[in-house]
Amino acid sequence: MAPNKMVFISDVHIGLRRHRSEWFGKEHVKPLCDFLGWVSTRGDEVKDLVILGDFFDNWVCPAGAVPPTIADIIGAAPNRPIWAMLHRCLRNLTHVYYVKGNHDMDTTQADLDLLADPRSGKAPQLINSYLDGVLVGEHGHAEAMFNAPDRVHDPVNGVPLGYFITRVLAKTTQAADCPAAIGSYLVSVHKSKHEGKTLAEAVLDAVMSFVGLEDEDLVELGAGLPDPTLGEVKARYRDLYELWKAAKGDGGAVDALRAEAFGLSPYVYRLQERFKIVVLGHTHEALVKAYPQQHKHDPGVEVREIYANTGKGCTERPTFVEVTNHPGGKWEVELKRVGYTGGSKPRLQITTLDEEALG
Give pLDDT, residue 119.
97
Q: Indicate the pTM of the whole model.
A: 0.94
pLDDT at 45 over 80: yes
Give pLDDT, residue 187.
53
Which residue ranges does the chain devote to CATH 3.60.21.10? 5-140+264-358
Phi, psi (degrees; rounded to nearest 5) at 105: -65, -20
E strand intervals along the chain: 5-9, 46-51, 95-99, 125-127, 130-132, 135-137, 277-280, 287-291, 305-309, 319-325, 331-340, 348-358
Give pLDDT, residue 190.
53
Give pLDDT, residue 223.
86
Least confident of 8-17, 152-161, 177-186, 214-223: 177-186
Whole-number average pLDDT of the chain: 92
Asked if the peptide bond before residue 299 counts as cis, ω within 30 degrees of 0, the response is: no
pLDDT digits (tens, 9 = 90+) for 89-140: 999 999 999 999 999 999 999 999 999 999 999 999 999 999 999 999 999 9
- Report the C-alpha gap between 13 and 73 in whole angstroms: 10
pLDDT digits (tens, 9 = 90+) for 63-78: 999 999 999 999 999 9
96 by DSSP, 3-state: which?
strand
Least confident of 10-14, 190-194, 275-279: 190-194
Residue 142: CB atoms within 10 Å? 19
Query: What mean pLDDT comes out for the span 300-315?
Result: 92
Query: DSSP label at 68?
Result: P
pLDDT at 194 over 60: no
Residue 260: which pLDDT band, with cuts at 50, 70 and 90? confident
Query: What mean pLDDT comes out for the span 85-89?
Result: 98
Domain spanning 5-140+264-358, CATH class: alpha beta
pLDDT at 189 over 60: no
If we measure between CA atoms, which residue out of 24, 36, 247 comes closest to residue 150?
A: 247
Least confident of 6-10, 93-97, 211-215, 293-297: 293-297
Query: How many residues belong to the chain?
Result: 359
- Report the C-alpha gap between 259 and 270 in whole angstroms: 13
Top mean-pLDDT range of 207-211, 276-280, 342-346: 276-280
- Report the C-alpha gap between 33 and 29 in whole angstroms: 6
pLDDT at 294 over 70: no
